[in-house]
Structure 1
Amino acid sequence: MRLPAGGPLNDVVVIDLTTILAGPFATMVLADLGADVIKIEPPRGDFIRDQGPFAPDDELRAFGGYFQSVNRNKRSVVLDLTTETGRASLLELVANADVVVENFRHGVMDRLGLSYERLREQNPHLVYAAIRGFGDERTGSSPMQDWPAYDITVQALSGLMEITGEPDRSPIKTGPGFGDTVPALFAVIGLLSAVHRARRDGVGGFVDVSMYDAMLAMCERTVYQHSYNGDVPTRQGNSHPLLCPFDAVPAADGWVSIAAPGDNHWRQLCAAIGRPELATDERTRDNVSRLANRDFTMSAVTAWTTTRTKVEIVETLGGKVPVAPVNTVEDIFADPHVHGRNMLVDVDHPGVSHPLTIANTPIKFADSPPTHIRRAPLLGEHTDEVLAQFDITTAAIQLEETK
Structure 2
Amino acid sequence: MSNSTENRPLSGIRVIGLEQYMSGPYCTMLLADAGAEVIKIERPGSGDPRRLIPPFVEKNGVKKAGGYLSYNRNKKSLALNLQSEAGRETLKQLVSVSDVVVENLRPGSMDKIGLNYDSLKKINPRIIYAAISGFGRLPGFESEYSSRPAFDIVAEAMTGIMDLVGFADKPPTYTLYGMADVHSGLATAYGIMQALFMRERTGLGQMVDSAMVDNMLALNERMVTLYSLTGEEPKRGSLRHVWPRGAFKCKDGYIALNVPDNIIWKRLADTIQRPDLVDDPRSADGVIRGENAEFLQAIIEDWMADKTRGEAVSALNDAGVPTGP
TM normalised by structure 2 equals 0.92
Query: Is 1:219 paired with 2:203?
Result: no
The aligned residue for residue 378 of structure 1 is none
Secondary structure at 1:203 match in 2: coil
Post-superposition offset of 1:111: 1.0
TM-aligned CA deviation for residue 56 of structure 1: 6.0
- Which stretch shows the higher mean deviation, 46-55 or 213-222? 213-222
Flag the structure with more relative contact order, 1 or 2, with Cα contacts below 8 A and sequence separation at least 6.
1
CA deviation string 1:313-348 (max 9, x = no partner): 1222224211111xxxxxxxxxxxxxxxxxxxxxxx
5+ unaligned residues in a row in structure 1: which ranges?
326-403
Instruction: Give, in whole Å, the separation in 2 of the partners of 1:90 and 1:232.
Output: 49
The offset of 1:284, in angstroms, is 2.5
**Paired residues of 1:139 and 1:208 also in contact (CA < 8 A):** no
- CA deviations 1:200-246 (Å, max 9, x no partner) are 1112111111112221222122222222222122201xx63322222
In the alignment, which residue of structure 1 is the partner of 2:263?
264
Task: Quote the offset at 1:141 in angstroms.
Answer: 1.9
1:53 equivalent to 2:55? Answer yes
| 8 A Cα contact 2:103 2:131, kept in partner | yes
Q: Deviations over 1:95-134 (max 9, x none)?
A: 1111000001111001112111111011001110000112
Contact 2:130 2:188 in 1 (8 A): yes
Secondary structure in 2 aligned to 1:70? coil
Larger mean CA deviation between 117-126 and 301-310 belongs to 301-310
Counterpart CA distance in 2 for 1:139 and 1:32 is 34
**Correspondences of 1:198-209 after superposition (within 5 Å):** 198-209=199-210
Give distance in 2, aligned partners of 1:51 and 1:18: 16
User: After the TM superposition, which of the residue ranges 258-267 and 106-115 deviates more from structure 2?
Assistant: 258-267
Residue 201 of structure 1 aligns to which amino acid in structure 2? T
The TM-score normalised by the length of structure 1 is 0.75
Cα distance between partner residues in 1 of 2:115 and 2:73: 26
The 8 Å contact of residues 127 and 207 in structure 1, kept in 2 or not, is answered as yes
**2:176 aligned with 1:175:** yes
Query: Structure 1 stretch 65-74 or stretch 218-227: which is displaced more?
Result: 218-227
Counterpart of 2:156? 155
1:72 shift after superposition = 0.6
> Are 2:297 and 1:295 equivalent residues in the alignment?
no
1:187 maps to what in 2?
188
- Quote how far apart the aligned CAs of 1:189 are: 1.6
Residue 23 (structure 1) aligned with residue 28 (structure 2): no
CA contact (8 A) 2:5 2:36 kept: no
Asked if structure 1 preserves the Cα contact closer than 8 Å seen for 2:240 and 2:287, the reply is no
What is residue 380 of structure 1 aligned with on the other side?
A: none
CA contact (8 A) 1:240 1:247 kept: no
| Partner secondary structure for residue 45 of structure 1 | coil
Aligned to 1:306: 305
| SS in structure 2 at match of 1:228 | helix
Deviation at 1:175, TM superposition (A): 1.9
Aligned to 1:251: 250
Aligned to 1:398: none
- Cα separation, 1, equivalents of 2:140 and 2:316: 49
CA RMSD of aligned residues (A): 1.9
- The whole-number CA distance in structure 2 between the counterparts of 1:261 and 1:196 is 37
Deviation at 1:53, TM superposition (A): 0.7
Q: Deviations over 1:155-203 (max 9, x none)?
A: 1111111111111211000023122112212211212111111121112
Q: CA deviation at 1:137?
A: 4.9
- Opposite residue 49 of structure 1, the aligned amino acid is R
Task: Report the counterpart of residue 12 of structure 1 in structure 2.
Answer: 13
Distance 1:176 1:206, change over 3 A: same
- Amino acid in structure 2 at the alignment position of 1:299: A
CA contact (8 A) 2:5 2:34 kept: no
Question: CA shift at 1:55, angstroms?
Answer: 2.7
Aligned letter for 1:323? T
Quote the sequence identity (%). Answer: 39
Separation (CA, whole Å) in 1 of partners of 2:97 and 2:103: 17
**Which deviates the most, 287-296 or 73-82?**
287-296
> Deviation of residue 6 (structure 1)?
2.9
Aligned to 1:324: 324
| 1:25-40 map, 5 Å | 25-40=26-41
CA contact (8 A) 1:164 1:234 kept: no
Check conservation: 2:152, 2:180, Cα contact below 8 A: yes
Aligned match of 1:277: 276
Structure 1 residue 266: Cα displacement: 2.1
CA distance in 2, matches of 1:27, 1:202: 22
Structure 2 counterpart SS, 1:316: helix
1:120-139 superposed matches below 5 A: 120-139=121-140
Instruction: Give distance in 1, aligned partners of 2:180 and 2:130.
Output: 17
What SS does structure 2 have at the residue aligned with 1:5?
A: helix
The 1-side partners of 2:301 and 2:294 are apart by 10
C-alpha distance in structure 1 between counterparts of 2:245 and 2:220, whole Å: 18
2:10 maps to a residue whose letter is L
* Contact 1:16 1:39 survives alignment (8 Å): yes
* Maintained 8 Å contact 2:138/2:209: no
Q: Which runs of 5+ in 2 are unaligned?
A: none
